[in-house]
Amino acid sequence: MILDARPIDQRTRNGFIPGSVPIDENSFNDIANRYAGHKEIVIYCSCPNEITAARYAEKLRKVGLKRIRPLVGGIDAWAQSGQQVTFL
């Protein structure tokens, strides 16, 4: 499971990892309940040092998710490695 911690306007403007699910400050409990059964969850953003992704990962741990980690380098590293980015 891949979560996108960027604002919706960034998903629209800069694209997103295919299949990723947007997350924001108001969706932690819903996300934790919906994806609790997943073996591993990766969360990404586009900020320096994955600050938002790391902060969200910590909040999701507090509401019950166990294996969650930020994507090092965020969406920029994903795209630079040749992985697909989808646009609406």
What length is written for the chain? 88
Model confidence, pTM: 0.94
Which residues have CB under 8 Å from 20's CB, separation 6+? 2, 3, 4, 44
Q: How confident is the model at residue 72 (pLDDT cuts 50, 70, 90)?
A: very high
pLDDT digits (tens, 9 = 90+) for 2-51: 999 999 999 999 999 999 999 999 999 999 999 998 889 999 999 999 99
- Checking if the pLDDT of 63 tops 90, the result is yes
Contact (CB, 8 A) for 13 and 87: no
